[in-house]
């Protein structure tokens, strides 16, 4: 397997050093850029031979915050996946990150081995969240009444719930005792019925803050 090109944006020198020291020693990754701010990241980006495929992005940054910068970064790197990392687990920040296009949302208390697993999950189509974040999502978010959920079959709703939980297609298949190919077919049906074009868009449309 060719190592995944990883970039880290983290302003805390201690956390940045810990992440770099652990993740960049893993054979699955090659760290192509490490920055202390979005502005620093953007300055270094043109110097890269190849852009990052994964970006681990802190939310609480000097200058542009991770959430504020995410739409800009997605325009700069349309093929990359962005996983947010933060000390915050409140519903508003989670929802803002999802709406801005984050693929995953991890707390800084997440052990390094779990961060690695989450990044690898993203690379295979997953949308990971720290367990505490997933509980927040389930507690503070609900399906929008305006979403055409009544058009979905029971099995389609089960697949959708798996995606909202941050599972990959393989993990959804294992949960529901289906083949990955069958789950993929259900996801294509969900895209068509809910008029979306990506998994992130599907999750963002399905989740709405409770009133």
Q: What is the pLDDT of residues 94-135, one digit of tens each?
A: 767 777 778 888 888 888 998 998 898 888 777 666 666 665
Tell me what pLDDT residue 197 has.
57
What is the C-alpha separation between 194 and 30, in angstroms, rounded? 37
Bridge partners, 208 (sequence order): 142
In a shared domain, residues 157 and 171: yes
The token duo for 108 is: 């800084």
Residues 133 and 154 in one domain: no
Question: Residue 105: beta bridge partners?
Answer: 84, 129
Instruction: Identify the segments of the chain with pLDDT beneath 50.
Output: 138, 140-150, 210-211
Instruction: Give the domain range for residue 193.
Output: 144-209
User: What pLDDT was estimated at residue 82?
Assistant: 92
Domain count, the chain: 2
pLDDT value at residue 145: 45
Is the Cβ–Cβ distance between 119 and 94 less than 8 Å? no
Nearest to 126 by CA among 30, 199, 202: 199
Asked if 150 and 121 sit in the same domain, the reply is no
Give one word for 56, left, alpha or beta, with left for phi > 0 and alpha for psi -120 to 50: beta
Do 152 and 50 share a structural domain? no
> Do 70 and 96 share a structural domain?
yes
Q: What is the pLDDT of residue 131?
A: 62
**Domain finish residue from 99, 119, 138:** 138
Domain boundary among the residues 92, 123, 138 is at: 138
Domain CATH code at residue 182: 1.10.10.10
């Amino acid at each position: 397997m060719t190592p995944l090109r990883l970039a880290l944006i983290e302003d805390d020198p201690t956390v940045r050093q810990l992440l770099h020291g652990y993740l960049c020693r893993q054979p699955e990754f090659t760290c192509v850029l490490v920055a202390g701010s979005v502005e620093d990241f953007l300055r270094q980006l043109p110097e890269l031979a190849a852009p990052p495929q994964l970006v681990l992005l802190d939310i609480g940054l000097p200058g542009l915050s991770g959430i504020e910068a995410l739409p800009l970064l997605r325009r700069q790197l349309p093929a990359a996946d962005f996983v947010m990392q933060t000390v915050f687990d409140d519903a508003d920040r989670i929802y803002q990150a999802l709406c801005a296009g984050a693929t995953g949302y991890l707390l800084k208390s997440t052990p390094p081995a779990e961060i690695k697993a989450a990044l690898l999950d993203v690379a295979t189509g997953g949308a990971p969240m720290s367990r505490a974040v997933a509980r927040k999502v389930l507690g503070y978010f609900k399906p929008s009444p305006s979403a055409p959920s009544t058009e979905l079959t029971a099995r389609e709703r089960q697949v959708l719930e798996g995606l909202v939980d941050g599972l990959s297609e393989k993990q959804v298949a294992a949960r529901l005792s289906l083949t990955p190919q069958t789950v993929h077919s259900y996801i294509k049906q969900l895209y068509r019925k809910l008029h979306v074009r990506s998994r992130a868009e599907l999750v963002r449309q399905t989740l709405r803050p409770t009133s």
